[in-house]
Chain A
Protein backbone atom coordinates (compact mmCIF):
# COMPACT_ATOMS: atom_id res chain seq x y z
CA UNK A 1 0.00 0.00 0.00
CA UNK A 2 1.11 3.60 0.32
CA UNK A 3 4.07 4.36 2.55
CA UNK A 4 3.59 7.13 5.06
CA UNK A 5 6.87 8.77 4.17
CA UNK A 6 5.85 9.09 0.51
CA UNK A 7 2.88 11.34 1.22
CA UNK A 8 3.84 14.93 0.48
CA UNK A 9 2.10 17.65 2.41
CA UNK A 10 2.49 21.32 1.53
CA UNK A 11 2.69 23.11 4.86
CA UNK A 12 2.48 26.64 3.51
CA UNK A 13 -0.89 27.56 5.04
CA UNK A 14 0.13 26.08 8.39
CA UNK A 15 1.41 28.28 11.19
CA UNK A 16 2.25 25.72 13.86
CA UNK A 17 1.81 22.07 14.72
CA UNK A 18 1.79 20.74 18.28
CA UNK A 19 1.99 16.98 18.74
CA UNK A 20 1.09 15.87 22.25
CA UNK A 21 1.50 12.28 23.40
CA UNK A 22 2.35 10.13 26.35
CA UNK A 23 5.06 7.69 25.31
CA UNK A 24 4.31 5.12 27.98
CA UNK A 25 0.83 4.53 26.52
CA UNK A 26 0.27 1.91 23.87
CA UNK A 27 -1.84 3.88 21.39
CA UNK A 28 0.77 6.46 20.43
CA UNK A 29 2.44 4.61 17.55
CA UNK A 30 0.63 6.38 14.71
CA UNK A 31 1.08 9.79 16.34
CA UNK A 32 4.80 9.24 16.79
CA UNK A 33 5.17 8.13 13.18
CA UNK A 34 3.18 11.18 12.11
CA UNK A 35 5.64 13.37 14.00
CA UNK A 36 8.54 11.60 12.35
CA UNK A 37 7.06 12.06 8.87
CA UNK A 38 6.30 15.75 9.40
CA UNK A 39 9.89 16.38 10.35
CA UNK A 40 11.09 15.10 7.00
CA UNK A 41 13.36 17.44 5.04
CA UNK A 42 11.06 17.87 2.05
CA UNK A 43 7.96 18.66 4.05
CA UNK A 44 9.83 21.05 6.32
CA UNK A 45 11.27 22.72 3.23
CA UNK A 46 7.80 23.74 2.03
CA UNK A 47 7.46 26.08 4.96
CA UNK A 48 10.43 27.11 7.07
CA UNK A 49 8.28 29.22 9.38
CA UNK A 50 6.09 26.40 10.54
CA UNK A 51 7.01 25.40 14.08
CA UNK A 52 6.63 21.76 14.93
CA UNK A 53 6.59 21.16 18.69
CA UNK A 54 6.46 17.85 20.46
CA UNK A 55 4.83 17.82 23.89
CA UNK A 56 5.83 14.75 25.84
CA UNK A 57 3.70 14.13 28.92
CA UNK A 58 3.11 11.39 31.41
CA UNK A 59 -0.49 11.94 32.44
CA UNK A 60 -2.18 9.18 30.45
CA UNK A 61 -3.84 11.67 28.12
CA UNK A 62 -4.71 10.80 24.52
CA UNK A 63 -2.30 11.46 21.71
CA UNK A 64 -3.28 14.71 20.03
CA UNK A 65 -2.20 16.68 16.97
CA UNK A 66 -3.08 20.36 17.06
CA UNK A 67 -2.59 22.23 13.77
CA UNK A 68 -2.96 25.99 13.69
CA UNK A 69 -3.46 27.47 10.21
CA UNK A 70 -2.41 30.92 9.11
CA UNK A 71 -5.99 32.08 8.64
CA UNK A 72 -6.89 31.22 12.21
CA UNK A 73 -8.45 27.82 11.60
CA UNK A 74 -7.57 24.95 13.91
CA UNK A 75 -7.46 21.24 13.18
CA UNK A 76 -7.36 18.81 16.08
CA UNK A 77 -6.71 15.17 15.33
CA UNK A 78 -7.01 12.60 18.08
CA UNK A 79 -4.51 9.98 17.07
CA UNK A 80 -5.59 7.19 19.38
CA UNK A 81 -7.58 5.36 16.70
CA UNK A 82 -6.19 6.92 13.53
CA UNK A 83 -3.41 5.63 11.36
CA UNK A 84 -0.50 7.75 10.24
CA UNK A 85 -1.58 7.71 6.62
CA UNK A 86 -5.09 8.87 7.49
CA UNK A 87 -3.74 11.77 9.52
CA UNK A 88 -1.31 12.79 6.81
CA UNK A 89 -3.92 12.65 4.05
CA UNK A 90 -6.40 14.62 6.15
CA UNK A 91 -3.84 17.34 6.80
CA UNK A 92 -2.69 17.26 3.17
CA UNK A 93 -6.19 17.63 1.75
CA UNK A 94 -6.97 20.58 4.01
CA UNK A 95 -3.67 22.26 3.11
CA UNK A 96 -4.36 21.78 -0.61
CA UNK A 97 -7.87 23.20 -0.24
CA UNK A 98 -6.48 26.28 1.48
CA UNK A 99 -3.79 26.68 -1.17
CA UNK A 100 -6.43 26.62 -3.91
CA UNK A 101 -8.53 29.19 -2.07
CA UNK A 102 -5.52 31.47 -1.71
CA UNK A 103 -4.62 31.14 -5.36
CA UNK A 104 -8.17 32.01 -6.37
CA UNK A 105 -8.13 34.99 -4.05
CA UNK A 106 -4.84 36.27 -5.41
CA UNK A 107 -6.14 35.82 -8.97
CA UNK A 108 -9.36 37.71 -8.21
CA UNK A 109 -7.84 40.60 -6.25
CA UNK A 110 -5.83 42.53 -8.92
Chain B
Protein backbone atom coordinates (compact mmCIF):
# COMPACT_ATOMS: atom_id res chain seq x y z
CA UNK B 1 0.00 0.00 0.00
CA UNK B 2 1.61 3.30 -1.02
CA UNK B 3 2.22 6.22 1.26
CA UNK B 4 1.01 5.31 4.71
CA UNK B 5 0.07 8.88 5.32
CA UNK B 6 -2.86 10.32 7.17
CA UNK B 7 -5.66 10.36 4.65
CA UNK B 8 -6.95 13.76 3.91
CA UNK B 9 -10.47 12.54 3.93
CA UNK B 10 -12.31 11.33 6.93
CA UNK B 11 -15.84 10.11 7.13
CA UNK B 12 -17.96 11.36 9.99
CA UNK B 13 -21.26 9.95 11.12
CA UNK B 14 -23.91 12.60 11.21
CA UNK B 15 -26.81 11.80 13.52
CA UNK B 16 -30.06 10.98 11.66
CA UNK B 17 -32.70 13.64 12.11
CA UNK B 18 -35.83 14.83 10.28
CA UNK B 19 -34.92 15.42 6.75
CA UNK B 20 -32.74 13.04 4.88
CA UNK B 21 -29.09 13.49 5.23
CA UNK B 22 -26.52 11.05 3.90
CA UNK B 23 -25.23 8.57 6.43
CA UNK B 24 -21.66 9.37 5.65
CA UNK B 25 -20.49 12.85 4.98
CA UNK B 26 -17.03 13.28 3.68
CA UNK B 27 -15.06 15.98 5.40
CA UNK B 28 -12.44 17.65 3.36
CA UNK B 29 -9.19 18.24 5.08
CA UNK B 30 -6.28 19.77 3.27
CA UNK B 31 -6.18 18.73 -0.41
CA UNK B 32 -9.00 18.13 -2.83
CA UNK B 33 -10.01 14.84 -4.41
CA UNK B 34 -7.96 15.31 -7.55
CA UNK B 35 -4.40 16.36 -6.74
CA UNK B 36 -1.21 16.77 -8.69
CA UNK B 37 0.73 14.60 -6.27
CA UNK B 38 0.07 11.03 -5.33
CA UNK B 39 -2.60 11.06 -2.72
CA UNK B 40 -2.86 8.17 -0.33
CA UNK B 41 -5.99 6.17 -0.75
CA UNK B 42 -8.56 6.07 1.94
CA UNK B 43 -7.87 3.19 4.29
CA UNK B 44 -10.98 1.34 3.27
CA UNK B 45 -10.08 1.80 -0.33
CA UNK B 46 -6.58 0.54 0.41
CA UNK B 47 -8.02 -2.57 1.98
CA UNK B 48 -10.31 -3.10 -0.98
CA UNK B 49 -7.46 -2.75 -3.45
CA UNK B 50 -5.32 -5.16 -1.46
CA UNK B 51 -8.05 -7.76 -1.36
CA UNK B 52 -8.91 -7.45 -5.03
CA UNK B 53 -5.32 -7.58 -6.34
CA UNK B 54 -4.81 -9.66 -9.47
CA UNK B 55 -3.35 -13.11 -8.87
CA UNK B 56 -2.02 -14.72 -12.05
CA UNK B 57 -3.32 -18.24 -12.59
CA UNK B 58 -0.48 -20.73 -12.09
CA UNK B 59 -0.60 -24.26 -13.40
CA UNK B 60 -0.36 -27.01 -10.82
CA UNK B 61 2.79 -28.44 -12.42
CA UNK B 62 5.36 -25.82 -13.55
CA UNK B 63 5.83 -26.04 -17.33
CA UNK B 64 9.54 -26.80 -17.11
CA UNK B 65 8.78 -30.09 -15.39
CA UNK B 66 6.67 -31.29 -18.27
CA UNK B 67 8.16 -32.65 -21.47
CA UNK B 68 8.85 -29.88 -23.98
CA UNK B 69 6.73 -29.72 -27.10
CA UNK B 70 8.84 -30.04 -30.28
CA UNK B 71 8.76 -26.59 -31.86
CA UNK B 72 7.96 -26.61 -35.56
CA UNK B 73 10.84 -25.52 -37.77
CA UNK B 74 10.54 -21.97 -39.04
CA UNK B 75 10.27 -21.71 -42.77
CA UNK B 76 13.42 -20.37 -44.43
CA UNK B 77 13.22 -16.92 -45.74
CA UNK B 78 14.07 -16.35 -49.35
CA UNK B 79 17.47 -14.87 -48.56
CA UNK B 80 18.69 -18.06 -46.91
CA UNK B 81 17.40 -20.06 -49.86
CA UNK B 82 19.20 -17.78 -52.28
CA UNK B 83 22.47 -18.12 -50.38
CA UNK B 84 22.06 -21.87 -50.29
CA UNK B 85 21.52 -21.97 -54.05
CA UNK B 86 24.65 -19.88 -54.54
CA UNK B 87 26.70 -22.26 -52.44
CA UNK B 88 25.43 -25.25 -54.41
CA UNK B 89 26.31 -23.45 -57.63
CA UNK B 90 29.80 -22.73 -56.36
CA UNK B 91 30.40 -26.36 -55.52
CA UNK B 92 29.16 -27.46 -58.92
CA UNK B 93 31.00 -25.00 -61.15
CA UNK B 94 34.46 -24.77 -59.73
CA UNK B 95 37.27 -27.25 -59.93
CA UNK B 96 39.19 -25.95 -56.95
CA UNK B 97 37.55 -24.89 -53.69
CA UNK B 98 39.84 -23.97 -50.83
CA UNK B 99 38.53 -23.36 -47.32
CA UNK B 100 40.43 -20.93 -45.11
CA UNK B 101 39.92 -19.60 -41.63
CA UNK B 102 39.40 -15.87 -41.67
CA UNK B 103 40.70 -13.95 -38.66
CA UNK B 104 39.88 -10.29 -38.64
CA UNK B 105 41.97 -8.39 -41.14
CA UNK B 106 42.06 -4.69 -41.97
CA UNK B 107 39.83 -3.85 -44.90
CA UNK B 108 42.55 -2.69 -47.27
CA UNK B 109 44.39 -5.96 -46.83
CA UNK B 110 41.25 -7.84 -47.75
CA UNK B 111 40.84 -5.78 -50.90
CA UNK B 112 44.51 -6.24 -51.85
CA UNK B 113 44.31 -9.98 -51.34
CA UNK B 114 41.15 -10.18 -53.42
CA UNK B 115 42.91 -8.23 -56.15
CA UNK B 116 45.89 -10.53 -56.26
CA UNK B 117 43.75 -13.62 -56.26
CA UNK B 118 41.49 -12.21 -58.96
CA UNK B 119 44.55 -11.89 -61.20
CA UNK B 120 44.85 -15.66 -61.07
CA UNK B 121 41.12 -16.04 -61.62
CA UNK B 122 40.45 -17.06 -58.01
CA UNK B 123 37.34 -15.65 -56.35
CA UNK B 124 36.95 -14.99 -52.65
CA UNK B 125 33.57 -15.81 -51.11
CA UNK B 126 32.49 -15.16 -47.57
CA UNK B 127 30.19 -17.89 -46.31
CA UNK B 128 27.96 -18.39 -43.30
CA UNK B 129 28.29 -21.71 -41.53
CA UNK B 130 24.60 -22.21 -40.89
CA UNK B 131 23.92 -22.01 -44.61
CA UNK B 132 26.78 -24.14 -45.81
CA UNK B 133 26.34 -26.94 -43.30
CA UNK B 134 22.92 -28.17 -44.49
CA UNK B 135 24.01 -27.89 -48.12
CA UNK B 136 27.11 -29.99 -47.52
CA UNK B 137 25.39 -32.60 -45.41
CA UNK B 138 23.07 -33.39 -48.31
CA UNK B 139 25.71 -33.37 -51.01
CA UNK B 140 28.64 -35.74 -51.39
CA UNK B 141 31.03 -33.44 -49.50
CA UNK B 142 30.14 -34.75 -46.06
CA UNK B 143 33.77 -34.90 -44.98
CA UNK B 144 34.13 -31.18 -45.35
CA UNK B 145 31.52 -30.62 -42.62
CA UNK B 146 33.88 -30.42 -39.60
CA UNK B 147 35.80 -27.64 -41.32
CA UNK B 148 32.95 -25.18 -41.15
CA UNK B 149 33.32 -23.83 -37.64
CA UNK B 150 34.18 -20.21 -36.78
CA UNK B 151 34.65 -17.68 -39.55
CA UNK B 152 35.56 -19.12 -42.92
CA UNK B 153 36.05 -17.98 -46.47
CA UNK B 154 36.08 -19.96 -49.68
CA UNK B 155 38.58 -19.43 -52.45
CA UNK B 156 37.08 -20.85 -55.60
CA UNK B 157 38.52 -21.17 -59.05
CA UNK B 158 37.92 -22.97 -62.31
CA UNK B 159 41.59 -23.79 -62.75
CA UNK B 160 43.62 -25.48 -60.07
CA UNK B 161 46.33 -22.87 -59.51
CA UNK B 162 47.49 -24.05 -56.16
CA UNK B 163 51.00 -22.60 -56.31
CA UNK B 164 49.89 -19.02 -56.91
CA UNK B 165 47.20 -19.28 -54.28
CA UNK B 166 49.70 -20.53 -51.70
CA UNK B 167 52.07 -17.71 -52.59
CA UNK B 168 49.38 -15.07 -52.00
CA UNK B 169 48.23 -16.71 -48.78
CA UNK B 170 51.77 -16.85 -47.47
CA UNK B 171 51.86 -13.07 -47.67
CA UNK B 172 48.70 -12.80 -45.58
CA UNK B 173 49.32 -14.20 -42.09
CA UNK B 174 45.77 -13.79 -40.86
CA UNK B 175 44.27 -16.32 -43.26
CA UNK B 176 44.98 -19.98 -42.53
CA UNK B 177 44.37 -22.59 -45.17
CA UNK B 178 42.46 -25.50 -43.66
CA UNK B 179 41.80 -27.74 -46.62
CA UNK B 180 40.69 -27.88 -50.20
CA UNK B 181 38.58 -29.86 -52.58
CA UNK B 182 40.30 -30.09 -55.96
CA UNK B 183 38.63 -32.09 -58.72
CA UNK B 184 36.35 -33.77 -56.21
CA UNK B 185 39.29 -34.86 -54.09
CA UNK B 186 39.47 -33.62 -50.54
CA UNK B 187 42.98 -32.51 -49.63
CA UNK B 188 44.47 -31.26 -46.40
CA UNK B 189 46.90 -28.36 -46.23
CA UNK B 190 49.83 -30.72 -46.74
CA UNK B 191 48.03 -32.26 -49.68
CA UNK B 192 47.56 -28.86 -51.28
CA UNK B 193 51.23 -28.08 -50.87
CA UNK B 194 52.17 -31.39 -52.48
CA UNK B 195 49.72 -30.72 -55.25
CA UNK B 196 51.33 -27.34 -55.86
CA UNK B 197 54.75 -28.96 -56.09
CA UNK B 198 53.63 -31.27 -58.89
CA UNK B 199 54.79 -30.13 -62.33
CA UNK B 200 52.30 -29.02 -64.96
CA UNK B 201 50.21 -31.60 -66.76
CA UNK B 202 51.87 -30.88 -70.13
CA UNK B 203 55.34 -31.38 -68.71
CA UNK B 204 54.32 -34.65 -67.13
CA UNK B 205 52.73 -35.80 -70.38
CA UNK B 206 55.88 -34.91 -72.30
CA UNK B 207 57.99 -36.82 -69.83
CA UNK B 208 55.79 -39.92 -70.12
CA UNK B 209 55.88 -39.82 -73.91
CA UNK B 210 59.65 -39.46 -73.85
CA UNK B 211 60.04 -42.40 -71.50
CA UNK B 212 57.73 -44.55 -73.62
CA UNK B 213 59.47 -43.77 -76.92
CA UNK B 214 62.94 -44.31 -75.48
CA UNK B 215 62.81 -48.09 -75.78
CA UNK B 216 61.35 -48.36 -79.34
CA UNK B 217 63.94 -45.87 -80.62
CA UNK B 218 66.62 -48.25 -79.51
CA UNK B 219 65.00 -51.31 -81.14
CA UNK B 220 66.23 -50.68 -84.68
CA UNK B 221 69.81 -50.12 -83.53
CA UNK B 222 69.52 -53.22 -81.29
CA UNK B 223 68.40 -55.40 -84.21
CA UNK B 224 71.15 -54.16 -86.51
CA UNK B 225 73.81 -54.52 -83.85
CA UNK B 226 74.67 -58.14 -84.68
CA UNK B 227 75.22 -57.68 -88.42
CA UNK B 228 76.96 -54.33 -87.89
CA UNK B 229 79.34 -56.01 -85.42
CA UNK B 230 80.05 -58.76 -87.96
CA UNK B 231 80.74 -56.20 -90.74
CA UNK B 232 83.09 -54.29 -88.50
CA UNK B 233 84.96 -57.46 -87.53
CA UNK B 234 85.31 -58.54 -91.18
CA UNK B 235 86.53 -55.08 -92.19
CA UNK B 236 89.16 -55.23 -89.49
CA UNK B 237 90.17 -58.71 -90.71
CA UNK B 238 90.51 -57.39 -94.27
CA UNK B 239 92.68 -54.52 -93.17
CA UNK B 240 94.92 -56.89 -91.22
CA UNK B 241 95.23 -59.25 -94.17
CA UNK B 242 95.94 -56.36 -96.48
CA UNK B 243 98.50 -55.02 -94.11
CA UNK B 244 100.04 -58.51 -93.72
CA UNK B 245 100.18 -59.50 -97.43
CA UNK B 246 100.86 -56.25 -99.22
CA UNK B 247 101.67 -57.92 -102.52
CA UNK B 248 98.90 -60.57 -102.83
CA UNK B 249 95.67 -59.48 -104.57
CA UNK B 250 93.04 -58.48 -102.08
CA UNK B 251 90.12 -59.33 -104.45
CA UNK B 252 89.13 -62.83 -103.22
CA UNK B 253 88.99 -61.58 -99.58
CA UNK B 254 86.72 -58.57 -100.26
CA UNK B 255 84.59 -60.75 -102.61
CA UNK B 256 84.19 -63.29 -99.79
CA UNK B 257 83.25 -60.57 -97.22
CA UNK B 258 80.74 -58.93 -99.64
CA UNK B 259 79.26 -62.38 -100.34
CA UNK B 260 78.98 -63.05 -96.59
CA UNK B 261 76.98 -59.76 -96.13
Contact = CB atoms under 8 A, between A and B. Distances in A.
Interface in B177-213: 177-179, 188-191
Interface in B140-180: 143, 146-147, 149-151, 173-174, 176-179
A24 B103 CA distance: 18
A32 B150 contact: yes
Interface size class of A (residues with CB under 8 A): 20 to 34
A25 B149 CA distance: 11
A40 B104 contact: yes
A29 B176 CA distance: 15
Given A26-B146, A32-B149, A32-B150, A39 B104 contact: yes
Contacts, number: 53
Contacts of A65: none
Nearest to B151: A36
Given A29-B150, A54-B176, A24 B143 contact: yes
A42 to B, nearest CB: 10
Interface residues of B, number: 21
Given A23-B178, A24-B143, A32 B101 contact: yes
A24 B178 CA distance: 8
B95 to A, nearest CB: 21
A76 to B, nearest CB: 20
Interface centre among B143, B147, B173, B178 (most CB of A within 10 A): B178
Nearest to A19: B176
Contact of B146 (A23, A33, A35, A36): A23
B103 A36 contact: yes
B84 to A, nearest CB: 22
Contacts of A41: 104, 106
A29 B151 CA distance: 11
Given A24-B143, A32-B101, A56 B150 contact: no
Given A32-B101, A35-B101, A40-B104, A56 B177 contact: yes
A36 B178 CA distance: 14
Nearest to B176: A54
A38 B146 CA distance: 22
Interface in A23-72: 23-26, 28-29, 32-33, 35-36, 38-41, 52-54, 56-58
A24 B179 contact: yes
A33 B129 CA distance: 13
Interface in B64-105: 101-104
Interface centre among A33, A38, A40, A58 (most CB of B within 10 A): A58
Interface of A: 23-26, 28-29, 32-33, 35-36, 38-41, 52-54, 56-58
The 4 closest A-B pairs by CB, nearest first: A39-B103, A58-B188, A23-B178, A32-B150
26 contacts: A23-B146, A23-B147, A23-B178, A24-B143, A24-B147, A24-B188, A28-B149, A29-B149, A29-B150, A32-B149, A33-B149, A33-B150, A35-B101, A35-B103, A35-B150, A35-B176, A36-B102, A36-B104, A38-B103, A39-B174, A40-B104, A41-B104, A52-B173, A54-B101, A54-B176, A58-B190
Interface of B: 101-104, 106, 143, 146-147, 149-151, 173-174, 176-179, 188-191
